[in-house]
Amino acid sequence: MPLVRSPRPPALLAAALLLAAAPPARAQSTLEAPPNLKGTWAVRPGTASFVFAHRFVSLHGGDELVNFPTLTLAVGLPGRFTVGLDHATNSETVADHLGGNETEYWVKRAFRLPGGVTLGGLAAYNGLAKSFDGAVTARLPLGRLTVLGEARGFSDMFGTGDAGFAAAGGGVLHVNRYLGVMGDVGRVLSADSFGTVWSGGVAVRIPGSPHTLSLYAGNGSVATLQGASRPRALFPDKLRWGFTFTVPLGGPRRWMQILRPPPEAPPADSSAAPMDAGAAAASVLVKDFTFGPGKVRIRAGQSVRWVNQDDDVHSAVADDGSWSSPDLERGDAFARRFDTPGRYPYYCRQHPDMTGVIVVE
């Protein structure tokens, strides 16, 4: 089919990479981007994240499901880079390999621009299409609405041998901190024969857990950059359902607890000081999914006070389970006295990638 030769994406990516360093993007969440957009999420250095994006059609009145899964594993590197791979086992991206495996290897970085815009630059290699792919995603929060736009380029689009480019846009309307309504549309722009991809559904932050989930309907295929740029090829007249589940895996230290389990946490935290412990020797601001400062030094017998300034719920939980704060809504504070010298690493129950340490001298 006739395809127009397109400008290569690396120039755009290089421009994005030259931008000044910016604070880390928000933790990964289905409330941050609709299912067919890459979004601007990043994983904190030294931690990993797993995403399961599952699409399926229901046949014979539900007697049979045909599945189109995409597994994503992402690892945070120094310099705020995130590397990962997307593996789809029932790909429809390359016409000669319907139902085959498709793996995409990628590196990504997010940049915060003035005006609240976050820009994500992604460079990828699609092993099935044998294509160097790239995407630039812009994310703009407008009150309750988050709007995203994405430009994509491919050196070998859908294994046709021709370069191509595509664009997609979408948004998430945040009903409250746990629930969003979302949708997206996208299509190849360098050729007109592939059709429009769309999806619509809801995204949920599961209360009291670090996980997010989304449920949606649409006509999309698998969740690689190329797979998200063309409608499904198999069962084209069947509505396709999907869900995406995000699992922050944390870092190696947390995984060591599988082999050396920490003691059970006491049912109540008896040493928690009153909420307005004005005598706290140090304060930790919980803001932009970060404990600031991440490392606090106090003397034995002094207290630390955490104050949540984010719209999202956060908490402070000892790595060894020996103490924890309640869930902190915006404006809530929690204080705790530390009587024994030592190192007290902790994390956020809702976002295990958020970590800090109290050093008691």
Write out the residues near Cu ion by the rule CB under 5 A: 314, 348, 350-351, 354
Q: Which is nearer to Cu ion, 155 or 350 (CB)?
A: 350
| HSE-CB of 247 using CA atoms within 13 angstroms | 9
| Least separation in angstroms between CB 358 and Cu ion | 17
Q: Which is nearer to Cu ion, 64 or 311 (CB)?
A: 311
| Least separation in angstroms between CB 135 and Cu ion | 28
Report the candidate in 174, 339, 189, 346 with the shortest Cα–Cα distance to residue 254.
Answer: 346
Q: Which is nearer to Cu ion, 154 or 334 (CB)?
A: 334
Compute how many other C-beta atoms are within 10 angstroms of the C-beta atom of residue 142: 9
Distance CA 15, CA 71 (A): 30
| Least separation in angstroms between CB 220 and Cu ion | 30
Q: Which residues contact 61 (CB under 8 A, 6 or more apart)?
A: none
Structure tokens given for 336: 């705790």
| Least separation in angstroms between CB 174 and Cu ion | 17
Compute how many other C-beta atoms are within 10 angstroms of the C-beta atom of residue 221: 27
Q: Match 């460079």 to its residue by tokens.
A: 123
Q: Which is nearer to Cu ion, 269 or 288 (CB)?
A: 288
| Least separation in angstroms between CB 77 and Cu ion | 21
Compute how many other C-beta atoms are within 10 angstroms of the C-beta atom of residue 32: 24
With contact defined as beta carbons under 8 Å apart, do 119 and 137 qualify? Answer: yes
Q: Which is nearer to Cu ion, 3 or 316 (CB)?
A: 316
| Least separation in angstroms between CB 350 and Cu ion | 4
Q: Which is nearer to Cu ion, 16 or 348 (CB)?
A: 348
Distance CA 113, CA 130 (A): 33
Structure tokens given for 25: 């993007």
Q: Which is nearer to Cu ion, 80 or 314 (CB)?
A: 314
| Least separation in angstroms between CB 305 and Cu ion | 17
Distance CA 61, CA 111 (A): 46
Report the candidate in 319, 97, 348 with the shortest Cα–Cα distance to residue 208.
Answer: 348
Residues pairing with 230 in the sheet: none
Compute how many other C-beta atoms are within 10 angstroms of the C-beta atom of residue 96: 9
Tell me the C-alpha to C-alpha distance, in Å, between residue 317 and each of 314, 326, 328.
Answer: 10, 9, 12
With contact defined as beta carbons under 8 Å apart, do 18 and 12 qualify? Answer: no
| Least separation in angstroms between CB 171 and Cu ion | 24
| Least separation in angstroms between CB 180 and Cu ion | 18
Q: Which is nearer to Cu ion, 139 or 351 (CB)?
A: 351
Q: Which is nearer to Cu ion, 108 or 351 (CB)?
A: 351
Locate all alpha helices (DSSP H) within the chain, ordered by sequence: 10-17, 252-256
